[in-house]
Structure 1
């Protein structure tokens, strides 16, 4: 691995203090809690950088207090605990939140390509397909979207979680284990997929044939029950959707900003933007979206990855869905 790439990886994986740290942005002079929205962000998701790059964080009529997390599951835990109001996650963290009866609701949906959600093997691996993973050790963040991608791919290959050894690691630790050859495979999402590829890994399979391609925004019950904060939730969702529309037509510009903010090489960011992020657009949290999540609930319950099944619709709030295309829409509407 090259020295510049090692430095870039260190910026991503060796900053637990930074991941837990709080930062803030916004233009409102008011510090009233009613005019502050506490937003969770993922190191690889870069919601804050996206809003800044697209101009959507300018002239905010309220303050955003940002908290950064290593992945979706710990973010949803913080939302459920009431320390964060809202945050974007993949398709599986809401399933684990519902299973744990956390006081949260899914309030928005995003569609994007699944080409960057993948199971990878290290450089020099002799493994050529998912079926060959039987008995192997696979790194994955428990409760993440990659967890669902991995389970779905295993089932499609005639295997199940019990046929492999799941090593539950957050992306930072998983990347270190993967590059050191301590695991046989890694299930993850962009930009980590692109980072692993640049380090010599290659994709064994992607989530494209097994996933609905949906991600979600989760908000706390407390924020949704507060009229002032729920108004901010609606405004934030509109700004994020507008920011993703901007990213689709400003790929190089977005990749430059994201690379700098995330501490990853520009080439890695650009691959991730072109493969995954430039395909993202807001869709309705409709019956099809809820059914796709219910299938994950039922599958994870059947595989005993959660204690039991439950009704996913009970963990949704559809009030912010006006004028959005159906979740089954595969092509982003014109700006």
Structure 2
């Protein structure tokens, strides 16, 4: 009997400890010292870019954790795939070039332009094999040209063809993501490749690819940071991300060699290609301006006229400026 009493007393003591612990967690949550549950921010990133470097360094996670958030990262091969994930609600925030948001908005994706980096027209180009007889965009007529459909280089190709007096109908577009396009390029399955850094730098250094036209004088080639309409309302989280992007961007600009060595094993590219890319890149974080929105609208209008998107869109509708009465100066 005595042994049974001791056993019951032990069970009751454990029960009291559990109840007491639960009460303490509840009290601290009410007092504001501990958040009841951390909110997960789902971030989409590409193989190379500011967000990838931010992920690798781990500083953003620390800031977010202190504010009661956690970060869940997903890698995408290019911008169109990333924004498709944003469209279906798989991610909250990500980055792409200038063209993917146009296609995404045309597909009614609930996106909002958050910020952008400076124009970097030299960071994308149309290249041909080192021994190719093709020396100009005009000579691409009737040729197979590889590109990632709906990406920033899609607009570069359109503008380069336009300047040469050609259209997409004059060439044979072959739509491939970067890795597949490089394989096709190396295998001479395509005559030219429209690609962006760091894949561009790698092709120049490793394959001795020749540039017949880059973006200078044709396109801006900006990197955009975008969010879902819902996440765009979370000013605290967005401000943390922006602040950390600015910090990491400054570190990259001042230490391209160290960053290239740091990133090389992370993304499986040579130090030389990454350093060339980082030295060519433009740095800083800019708020979305009227002139940037105007540039995006030109892309949207061009794609609509070419029937690349099904209907006209107003870029302003995807901007925080939409309630300010227009995007004029």
Shorter-chain TM band: 0.7 to 0.9
Q: Structure 1 residue 112: deviation in Å? A: 3.9
Query: RMSD of the TM alignment (CA)?
Result: 2.0
TM-score (norm 2): 0.82
1:64 paired with 2:68, answer: no
| Cα distance between partner residues in 1 of 2:62 and 2:321 | 27
1:291 to 290, 294, 304: 294
| Cα distance between partner residues in 2 of 1:50 and 1:272 | 17
> Alignment partner of 1:219: what SS?
strand
1:263 to 254, 268, 282: 268
2:258 to 229, 233, 253: 253
> Alignment partner of 1:111: what SS?
coil
- Out of 195-204 and 263-272, give the one that drifted further: 195-204
1:116 paired with 2:120, answer: no
How does 1:8-157 map onto structure 2 within 5 Å?
Answer: 32=37, 34=39, 36-45=40-49, 47-53=51-57, 55-60=59-64, 61=66, 62-157=69-164
Unaligned runs of 5+ in 1: 1-28, 320-335
1:219 to 224, 227, 230: 227
> Alignment partner of 2:182: what SS?
helix
| Residues 60, 241 of structure 2: 8 Å contact kept | no
- How many residues are matched? 285
- Out of 283-292 and 191-200, give the one that drifted further: 191-200
Unaligned runs of 5+ in 2: 1-33, 323-329
| Cα distance between partner residues in 1 of 2:58 and 2:190 | 38
Change (3 A) 1:117 1:30: farther
| Residues 82, 222 of structure 1: 8 Å contact kept | no
TM-score (norm 1): 0.80
| Cα distance between partner residues in 1 of 2:268 and 2:306 | 37
